[in-house]
């Protein structure tokens, strides 16, 4: 009680993850990281040769998504890989409809020749974890069931043999867990070809030796990182939660056939990403792992500096991963 009184008298907010979000004692939420909204457009010229359209995924929760369809596919009626993309933003900021993620998803669709489904999931703290996980799963199930029959773009252009889950930062974490959920033998599994994790958010109850002290270079100091998970889970979980430190048996349960892990050389999460790739490669999982390392870059650099050589290298690696030949045939 004494600690709570001291907090109330020294600051007008109850918690904050600066520079991203602040929650005030009166319940107000202030978000500092914003990108302007971009409307969808059926005109491919508006998004670099990619038509876009917004859909409601789940009426009960209001979860929605933005679809990105390359103009060439519409003309040829060809079947395309499907990339379910999950944006970053610490689980509590940003949007699939923001200029940043609209631009990136459109570029990915155009470069990979893929049908991208960018998920607009519910944000914490208004909707604590596991809301984001549930929303990504709902979007994948929508693609694999409802949309495969009723959505004009999915039904006409989606190749059910080539479904990928992708995301950056916390979106990479969500993509991994969506792949885990898609692997369950409970009658709801979805066939996933691959998972793409770009600088994924991973942590643990104890810091790795390289994380003990902030190097003054990485965008996020470890003290800030350690505040995030308790904040977005409404205090219900700590940094020892297996959702941010996947156990070996969970990794082994994956049924997707391939994984790409991309890390940035200055990113605070690089050690965890490299360790995850090693555990996937050396453990009981039977899939193949591609590790992409971008030296001299920090967290999510590719979103804000898309013209850099390292950003082009990352995009090329993802495009090549998506367009690799596949083995076997599956159906929605």
Contacts of 14 (CB under 8 A, 6+ apart): 7, 23, 24, 25
Q: Looking at residue 64, what DSSP letter applies? A: E
8 Å CB contact between 171 and 88: yes
Known catalytic membership, residue 215 = no
* Cα dist from 214 to 109, 161, 201, 207, 238, whole Å: 37, 43, 17, 11, 20
Scored b (16 or more CB within 10 A) or e, 118-135 reads: bbbbebbbebbbbbbbbb
The half-sphere exposure of 300 on its side-chain side, counting CA atoms within 13 A, is 19
- Which of the following is catalytic: 81, 169, 183, 311? 169
Cis (ω within 30 of 0) for the bond into 249? no
Contact in structure between 21 and 32 (CB atoms under 8 Å) = yes
Task: Tell me which of 267, 298, 311, 317 is the catalytic residue.
Answer: 267
Catalytic residue among 299, 302, 311, 317: 299
Q: Are 72 and 51 in contact (CB under 8 A)?
A: no
Q: Is residue 169 among the annotated active site residues?
A: yes
Mark whether 183 is an active-site residue.
no
Active site residues: 169, 267, 299
């Amino acid at each position: 009680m004494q600690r709570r009184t001291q907090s109330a008298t020294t600051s007008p907010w109850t918690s904050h993850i600066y520079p991203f979000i602040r929650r005030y004692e009166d319940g107000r939420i202030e978000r500092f990281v914003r990108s302007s909204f971009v409307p969808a457009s059926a005109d491919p010229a508006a998004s670099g040769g990619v038509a876009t359209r917004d859909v409601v995924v789940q009426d009960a929760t209001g979860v929605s998504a933005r679809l990105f369809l390359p103009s060439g596919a519409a003309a040829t009626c060809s079947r395309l890989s499907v990339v379910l993309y999950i944006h970053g933003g610490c689980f509590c900021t940003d949007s699939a409809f923001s200029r940043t993620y609209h631009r990136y998803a459109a570029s990915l669709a155009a470069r990979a020749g893929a049908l991208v489904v960018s998920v607009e999931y519910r944000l914490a703290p208004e909707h604590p974890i596991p809301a984001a996980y549930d929303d990504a799963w709902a979007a994948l199930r929508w693609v694999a069931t409802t949309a495969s029959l009723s959505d004009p773009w999915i039904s006409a252009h989606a190749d059910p043999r080539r479904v990928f889950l992708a995301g950056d930062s916390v979106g990479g974490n969500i993509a991994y867990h969506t792949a885990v959920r898609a692997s369950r033998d409970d009658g709801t599994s979805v066939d996933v070809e691959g998972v793409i994790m770009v600088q994924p958010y991973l942590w643990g109850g104890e810091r790795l030796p390289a994380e003990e002290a902030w190097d003054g270079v990485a965008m996020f100091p470890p003290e800030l990182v350690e505040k995030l998970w308790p904040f977005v889970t409404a205090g219900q979980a700590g940094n020892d939660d297996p959702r941010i430190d996947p156990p070996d048996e969970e990794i082994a349960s994956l049924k997707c056939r391939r994984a790409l892990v991309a890390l940035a050389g200055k990113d605070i999460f690089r050690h965890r990403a490299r360790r995850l790739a090693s555990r996937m490669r050396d453990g009981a999982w039977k899939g193949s792992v591609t590790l992409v390392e971008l030296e001299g870059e920090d967290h999510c650099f590719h979103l804000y500096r898309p013209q850099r050589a390292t950003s082009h290298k990352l995009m090329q690696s993802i495009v090549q991963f998506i367009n690799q030949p596949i083995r076997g045939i599956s159906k929605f």
